[in-house]
Structure 1
Amino acid sequence: MTRLIRAGLRACLVATLAACVPGLAEAHTGVYLVSTDGATAGFAHPLLGADHLLAMVAVGLWAASLGGRARWQVPASFVVLMTFGAALGGQGLALPAVEPMIALSVIALGGLIALSVRIPVAAAAALVALFGLFHGAAHGAEMPVMASPLAYGAGFIAATALLHGIGLALGALLPRAPVAKLAGGAIAAAGVALALPL
C-alpha cells in the first residue's frame, strides 16, 4: 500500500513539474500523433496537454473524495458535455474564453480537492460538466483536418475515461488527508502556472 501511495504522489509531482516546463505547458501545440483514422490523435490530445491531463485526473480525484454516486456521475457528466463541446468545436462554433476556462478548471478542481469541498452530487456534476464543455471545445477545434471525427472523438473519450479512472484509483489509494490535499494543492498550483503568460 505504501508503494502505491508513493507511486501516486510521484505521478502527481511529475505532472505538476511537467506543467511548469514552458515547452510542455502549452497544451495545444498543433503537434499530433497522426493515424489514418484520427483515433491516435484523439487519444493523444488529452495526454499531451498538461492542462487537460491535470483537470481530468482531478475530476476523478474529486469524485473519489465525494464518494457514492459521485464516483461515476461526476466523471460521466464531464465526458457527456466534453463530447458536446467537441461537436461544437469541430463545427467551427467557438466558445468564448476556452483557454482561460480550461486553466480555471485545473485551478478550481485542484482547490476543491485541497480544501476537501463536499457539495451535492448534482452540483458537482454540473460544475464538472461546465468544465468538460470547454475541454471538449478545445478538442473539437483542434481535430486534424484529415481525421475521422468519430475515430478522433472515440480516441479522446477513451483517454479522458482513462485519466478519470487514474484519478479515481488515486483517490481510493491516497489517504483523505493530508496526502490527497497536497495532491489537490499541487494540481491547483500547476493550474496557476499554466494560466500565467510565458
Structure 2
Amino acid sequence: MNRTLRTALVLAATLYPALAYAHVGVGETSGFAHGFTHPISGLDHVLAMILVGVFAFQLGGRALWLVPLSFVGMMAAGGIMSMNGIHVPLIELGIALSVIVLGTAVAFEVKAPVAIAAGLAGLFAIFHGYAHVAEMPGGAGGLEYAGGFMLSTALLHVAGIGLGQVVGRNSQQAGSYALRVIGSVFALAGVGILSGAL
C-alpha cells in the first residue's frame, strides 16, 4: 500500500469514532443523520469537498492531510459562527466561488505553498460550515449534527484524494491531464451554480 493511500485511510479512520453518535438515541441519531446527509445533499458542497481532496492530492506531501484538516476545522468554526448569530455575508456566493476557485486550481495544477492552500481551503470552509448550521433542523442536537457533517465532509475529502490516486496515478501524463479536465468541469459547474443554471 503506497503512502498516499495509507495517509487517506488513516485520516478516515481517525474520524470513524464519530459514527458512535449514530447509535446513542433517537434525537441524537436524527441530528447525526441530518448532519451527515447535508453535505451530500447539495451539488455545490459535494463538488467543493471532492475538489479539496483532489487539490490536496496534487500538492502531495503535508498538504495531503493539512488542506482537508484545515477545511474541516474551519468549517466547524463557520458552524459555530452561525450558531452564535455572527453574520457572515454572501454565503451562497462564497460556496459557489469555492467550487470555481478550487476547480481552477486543480485545472491549472496550481502548486501553492501548503500554508496558502490550507488557508484558501479554510476560508471557503467557513461559508460551507455556516450554511450547514443555518439549515440545521430544529429538533437536531447541535453536537451530533456537527459530528455528522464533519464526518461526511472528511469522507468526501478522502473520496477526492482517492479520485486523485486512481486517476492521477493512471499514468503520469494521462492522469495529470484527466485531473485537469475534472477540475475544469467542476469549475464550470461552479459557474453554473453561481449563475443559477445548476
Indicate the residue corresponding to 1:192 in structure 2: 191
More deviation in 36-45 or 171-180?
171-180
**Corresponding residue for residue 139 of structure 1:** 132
Mapping of residues 49-198 of structure 1, within 5 Å? 49-175=42-168, 176-198=175-197
Deviation at 1:86, TM superposition (A): 0.5
Distance 2:59 2:166 in 1: 14
1:92·1:141 contact (CA, 8 Å) conserved in 2? no
Q: State the secondary structure of the residue aligned to 1:119.
A: coil
Which whole-Å CA distance do the structure 2 matches of 1:187 and 1:169 have between them?
17
Q: Tell me how far 1:93 sits from its aligned partner.
A: 2.1
Deviation at 1:125, TM superposition (A): 0.3
Q: How many residues align?
A: 164
Shift of 1:36: 2.7
What SS is found at the alignment partner of 1:172? helix
Once the two structures are TM-superposed, the CA of residue 142 in structure 1 deviates from its matched residue by 1.0
**TM-aligned CA deviation for residue 133 of structure 1:** 0.8
Unaligned runs of 5+ in 1: 1-34
| Contact 1:42 1:156 survives alignment (8 Å) | yes
Select the structure that is richer in helix: 2
User: Unaligned regions of 5+ residues in structure 2, if any?
Assistant: 1-25, 169-174
> Is the 1:94–1:137 Cα contact (8 Å) retained in structure 2?
no
User: 1:156 offset after TM fit, Å?
Assistant: 0.0
Say if 1:85 and 1:137, in contact at 8 Å, map to a contact too.
Answer: yes
Q: List 4+ stretches of structure 1 deviating above 3 A.
A: none
- Give 1:92 deviation, angstroms: 2.5
Pick the aligned partner of 1:36 from 8, 27, 31: 27
So what's the TM-score if we normalise by structure 2?
0.81
**Cα deviations by residue, 1:62-106 (Å, 9 ceiling, x for unpaired):** 000000000000000000000010011122322010100000000
RMSD in angstroms over aligned alpha carbons?
A: 1.0
Helix, strand or coil at the partner of 2:27: coil
